[in-house]
Amino acid sequence: MAGGRFAGQIRNRDVVVVDNNGHIIYIPPRTLEVERLVAQFINELNTALAAVAAREEEATTVAAWAHYRLVALHPFHDGNGRASRLLMNLVLTRAGLAPLILPSGSRARYNELLRASNHGRLGGICVVHHVPTPVHG
């Protein structure tokens, strides 16, 4: 963990994402592009959130998309996955759906679906994020 000194700050250097063996599995956008891409993402997210109705399919699709886009941008030094899962659950709970808790044993499948999403196959993430139980408050 990068610690508190970078909390909430856009990263200021190029990074790569590695697996447990140190192999590069993803190269996020270059640092010089991150601020512009984050601003673009925020605009797209606001548009998508405005379009979310009470229907589960729309909320789960937007939640999965927002999760993937934020983790793919990888704008922070640390905590990108946690921030993207938090954003996903914010979208779900605002739509009256239960938050998604990923069991620790599902990490490999989760990473596999993220890699598939890099190739335009977001459907797997939508299935993983399907939460049929509405929240009753």
Which element (helix H / strand E) includes 89? helix 80-94
What are the pLDDT digits (tens) for 45-64?
Answer: 998 888 885 454 588 889 98
- Concatenating the DSSP letter of every residue in 40-57 gives HHHHHHHHHHHH--S-HH
83 is in an annotated binding site: yes
Categorize the per-residue pLDDT at 88 as very low, low, confident or very high, splitting at 50, 70 and 90.
very high
- The pLDDT value recorded for residue 52 is 84
Contact 114, 81 (CB under 8 A): no
Domains of the chain: 28-128 (1.10.3290.10)
What are the pLDDT digits (tens) for 6-44?
Answer: 667 899 999 998 888 999 988 999 999 999 999 999 999
Contact 40, 83 (CB under 8 A): no
pTM of the predicted model as reported, rounded to 2 decimal places: 0.76
Q: Tell me the three state secondary structure of residue 80.
A: helix
Per 3-state DSSP, the chain is made up of helix, strand and coil in percentages (nearest 5) of 55, 5, 35
81 is in an annotated binding site: yes
- Residues 23, 67, 74, 77: which is the catalytic one? 74
Active site residue 74: yes
4 is in an annotated binding site: no
78 is in an annotated binding site: yes
Q: Where are the beta strands (DSSP E) in the chain?
A: 17-18, 24-26
